[in-house]
């Protein structure tokens, strides 16, 4: 009985402290279950920041699907890309939230999701959506956002 207790205690200690690969696994698991938006603060009011986000989204060839400046959010989706196999397809969706920043300006938070459909999907037209926390798409989106805000208003 003491051996089992000691082994159980050792397993708990290893699970709690973890190693570097365990830490990466925990982070990946946490992002999958409860993804976090990537924030970017701009020196603009919410409505101009929203309009700049729409311009950035359009420059990345995303199609606006829903949202509004007053709601402080927007959703967009990329074009459908065919994948490997007869029923494989891929899209990327973008979710953006806008809120007043603590030190003035607007916090624009973005999250990209990869949507995959393949022969293992349960039904036609339904896919698996997975957050993309480490995608270079964030840098591209925020660069387009900053460029749109730098343009003089027409």
* Count of domains for the chain: 2
Are residues 4 and 49 both part of a single domain? no
Q: What is the pLDDT of residue 82?
A: 81
Q: Which stretches does DSSP call E strand in the chain? A: 38-42, 63-68, 73-77, 81-82, 89-100, 106-117, 128-131
Sign of torsion, CA 80 144 101 136? positive
- Contact assessment for residue 117 and residue 88, using Cβ atoms and an 8 Å cutoff: yes
Percent of the chain topping pLDDT 90: 57
The whole-model pTM stands at 0.73
Q: What is the pLDDT of residue 124?
A: 56
pLDDT tens for 91-106 read 999 999 999 999 999 9
For residue 45, CA distances in Å to 77, 80, 99, 111, 115 come to: 25, 33, 9, 21, 32
Are residues 112 and 43 both part of a single domain? yes
Q: What is the pLDDT of residue 86?
A: 66
User: Which CATH number fits the domain that encloses residue 128?
Assistant: 3.30.310.80
Neighbours of 18 (CB within 10 A): 13
Are residues 24 and 48 both part of a single domain? no
How sure is the predictor about 89, in pLDDT bands with cuts at 50, 70 and 90?
Answer: confident
pLDDT tens for 126-147 read 678 899 998 999 999 999 999 9
Are residues 53 and 73 both part of a single domain? yes
How sure is the predictor about 120, in pLDDT bands with cuts at 50, 70 and 90?
Answer: low
């Amino acid at each position: 009985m003491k051996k089992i207790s000691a082994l159980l205690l050792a397993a708990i200690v290893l699970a709690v402290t973890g190693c570097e690969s365990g830490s990466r696994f925990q982070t990946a698991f946490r992002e999958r279950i409860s993804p976090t938006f990537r924030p970017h603060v701009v020196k603009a009011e919410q409505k101009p920041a929203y309009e700049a986000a729409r311009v950035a989204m359009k420059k990345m060839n995303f199609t606006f699907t829903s949202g509004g400046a007053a709601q402080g959010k927007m959703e967009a989706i990329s074009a459908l890309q065919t994948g490997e196999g007869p029923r494989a397809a891929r899209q990327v969706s973008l979710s953006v939230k806008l809120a007043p920043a603590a030190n003035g300006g607007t916090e624009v938070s973005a999250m990209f999701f990869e949507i995959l459909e393949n022969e293992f999907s349960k039904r036609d037209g339904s896919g698996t959506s997975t957050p993309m926390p480490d995608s270079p798409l964030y840098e591209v989106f925020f660069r387009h956002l900053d460029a749109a805000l730098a343009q003089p208003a027409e």
